[in-house]
Amino acid sequence: MQAYRIPAQGEAARLCDIDIPTPGASQVRVEIKACGLNFADLLMQKGTYQDTPTAPFTQGMEIAGIVDAAGSDVSHLKPGDRVAVYSGQGGLAEFGVFDADRAILLPNTVSFEQAAAIQIAYGTSHIALAHRAHLQAGETLLVTGAAGGVGLTAVEIGKLMGATVIAQARGADKLAVAQAAGADHLIDASDDLRANVKKLGGADVVYDAIGGDVFKAAFRATNPEGRLLPIGFAGGEVPQIPANHLLVKNLTVIGFYIGGYLTFRPQIVRDSFDTLFRWCAEGRIKPHISHVLPLTDADKGLQLLRDRTATGKVVITP
């Protein structure tokens, strides 16, 4: 089969021919129909992601497909089942072997492409906003990088939870995407973020995927008792948070990494995915997929993320 792999430490990722894997006793083999791309895939290529596997490995963190074979200890899944798997690796291939307890059955009305686009981006926003920040109806949510893979889902879920959503993104086209997802107010990335948010009454919750100066401006525009979620650092700089300002304004900065929950509280992730797939089946969320590409174009798909020309998700269909 074909797989998009990092063959050795320091080597560039490329399409390779490898053997179709055999599932272990507690695993399932999935014929992969769709795989979502993530900014973390780019970090893995540089070896800077916190959960980069040891090479060689196949890239691709979230998949959807059909169970092809099940190990002897697997009783809740069978060949032919439609599933989604937050795998962490192994998704950019025609087949993959995954732990059965990470596989979740899909409603028939949720497409493979939708399922591959939902898990990490929507799961991150849903758990961060609902479980960690406890966003309340009537509060104001500021989302930076609001047209990106995770930012756009934060806009949509924040609005679904009853918040007033301020979306920041670069350029009219990306702001239009955020507005279509439910944003109430739009701020271009070239404008003064702090001043514009303050004009709108400040932010109660900040969902920041950019870091650097953007986080600093959002921090200064946060209302007393506000909560800040540093979700990612797409801008390249990890912000240093002044503890004295936290004290004066009674602010809370909340750490959140969805992959960590798979280790210490996996049920939180499973419950979130069940909710999100149900919401998708009911039409309450609508994943925005800007590009669907074949496996042979995996390089092109990752370049779209690198150049920040994609909006929402890029999905690969092996």
Residue 117, pLDDT score: 96
Report the CATH number that the domain containing residue 199 is assigned in CATH.
3.40.50.720
Whether 124 is in a domain gets the answer: no
Q: Nearest to residue 115, comparing CAs of 154, 85, 155, 148?
A: 85
Q: Indicate if 247 and 267 belong to the same structural domain.
A: no
Residue 235, pLDDT score: 81
Which single residue is written with the structure tokens 């069940």? 274
Q: Indicate if 239 and 138 belong to the same structural domain.
A: yes
Whether 288 is in a domain gets the answer: yes
3-state secondary structure of 263: helix
Q: Nearest to residue 313, comparing CAs of 33, 40, 34, 37?
A: 37
Whether 297 is in a domain gets the answer: yes
pLDDT tens digits in sequence order for the chain, 318 residues long? 999 999 998 899 999 999 999 999 999 999 999 999 998 999 999 998 888 999 999 999 999 999 999 999 999 999 999 999 999 999 999 999 999 999 999 999 999 999 999 999 999 999 999 999 999 999 999 999 999 889 999 999 999 999 999 999 999 999 999 999 999 999 999 999 999 999 999 999 999 999 999 999 999 999 999 999 999 888 878 989 999 999 999 999 999 999 999 889 999 999 999 999 999 999 999 999 999 999 999 999 999 999 988 888 999 999
Q: Indicate if 281 and 243 belong to the same structural domain.
A: no
Which of 209, 227, 253 corresponds to the end of one domain? 253
Q: Indicate if 190 and 245 belong to the same structural domain.
A: yes
Q: Indicate if 158 and 245 belong to the same structural domain.
A: yes
Domain residues for the domain of 241 are: 134-253
Q: Indicate if 309 and 243 belong to the same structural domain.
A: no
Residue 71, pLDDT score: 97
Instruction: Encode 130-143: b = buried (16+ Cβ within 10 Å), e = exposed.
Output: eebbebeeebbbbb
Whether 126 is in a domain gets the answer: no
| Domain count across the chain | 2
CA 196-199-200 angle, to 5 degrees, is 95
* Residues 6 or more apart whose Cβ sits within 8 Å of residue 280: 107, 110, 114, 118, 286, 287
Report the CATH number that the domain containing residue 55 is assigned in CATH.
3.90.180.10
